[in-house]
């Protein structure tokens, strides 16, 4: 999975979710939960979505049974601050942060996708 392909704020089918332990937001039709995909091999090989203090070493994990959709988690405050430090100088001499530019690009992508439908 290329994280660049997916953006926070958009729900994607669970079949496209990362299975590498990356924490994501899951939707099961009733609630949202931050979880990650894990494989537990204590008594039997289990592949499931777990949340909270989940560990591959435990057989009983707090799990999300039937998620239908997922989205990436937002950046942490530290990651956002680091991204905001990255600035780009525009032709008119003004500056824009990478996060502001990313929002503009996402907006344009949504407009283009809407036009293509």
Containing structural domain, residue 67: 3-72
In whole angstroms, what separates CA 55 from the centre of its chain?
A: 20
Read off the pLDDT of residues 38-48 as tens digits, 9 standing for 90 and up: 776 554 456 77
The pLDDT of 22-42, averaged and rounded, is 82
Tell me if 25 sits within 8 A of 12, measured CB to CB.
Answer: no
Q: Does residue 1 carry a pLDDT above 60?
A: no
Q: Does residue 112 carry a pLDDT above 70?
A: yes
Residue among 79, 89, 84 at smallest CA distance from 100: 84
Question: Which tokens go with 49?
Answer: 């979505």
Number of compact structural domains in the chain: 2
Ramachandran assignment for 29, one of left (phi > 0), alpha (psi -120 to 50 degrees), beta (any other) = left
Q: Does residue 60 carry a pLDDT above 80?
A: no
Whether residues 9 and 64 fall in one domain: yes
Whether residues 85 and 110 fall in one domain: yes
């Amino acid at each position: 999975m290329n994280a660049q392909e997916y953006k926070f704020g958009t729900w994607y089918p669970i079949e496209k979710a990362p299975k590498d332990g990356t924490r994501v937001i899951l939707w099961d039709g009733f609630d949202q939960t931050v979880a990650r995909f894990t494989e537990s091999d204590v008594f039997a090989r289990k592949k499931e979505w777990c949340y909270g203090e989940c560990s591959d070493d435990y057989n009983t994990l707090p799990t999300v049974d039937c998620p239908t959709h997922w989205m990436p988690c937002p950046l942490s405050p530290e990651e956002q601050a680091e991204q905001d430090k990255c600035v780009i100088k525009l032709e008119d001499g003004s500056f824009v942060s990478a996060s502001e530019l990313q929002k503009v690009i996402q907006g344009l992508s949504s407009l283009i996708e809407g036009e293509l439908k």
